[in-house]
Amino acid sequence: MADDPIALFAAWFAEAKASEPNDPDAMALATATPDGRPSVRMVLLKGFGPEGFTFYTNADSRKGEELSFDPHAALLFHWKSLRRQVRIEGPVNEVDAAEADVYFATRSRDSQLGAHASDQSRPLADRSTFEERYDEVKRHFEGRDVPRPDRWTGFRVTPERIEYWTDRPHRLHERRLFVRDGDGWTEGLLYP
């Protein structure tokens, strides 16, 4: 048994990056609507460490609005090639503007422009409307750096629970659960 679930995640994530054919950083993000209904979608992990697991989005998107109402989330990584899953649950906080700026600057120019052109999660009459907005934004920023839009930001899930699931024959899976305990963690096993 390991006593550092973040170090274990780093080891598993490194293996996933070596074996997953597509998007080893893809994770399901579950939030809740104001009336308590679950809502889930795939996002990309953009950073992790003892402070938490970070992803970026438009704060006015559906997920951003749900997190402003209930700042708790669950994450799920499923690495089929390794026959492993990691489940993470905890409170969510927005990253500071400087951190969001640093990450935004690493994105491709097209992705930066798309962040300005998109009213993420809002109704769209037709694809050409978005493409026209994208072209307008592209012309507007021609020859200049593209700044981060004010409402485009990052969110960090601070883990309170992390479960490591390993597939075993005959559905006799292994489940290891880490639960935050002050500044450390307690660890135990769960029945499959």
Residue 109 falls in the annotated catalytic set: no
| Marked catalytic residue, from 109, 133, 171, 176 | 171
Residues contacting 53, CB < 8 A, separation 6+: 27, 45, 47, 75, 88, 156, 157, 159
How many DSSP H helices and E strands does the chain contain? Answer: 5, 10
191 secondary structure, DSSP code: -
Strands 152-157 and 38-44: unpaired
Residues known to be catalytic: 171
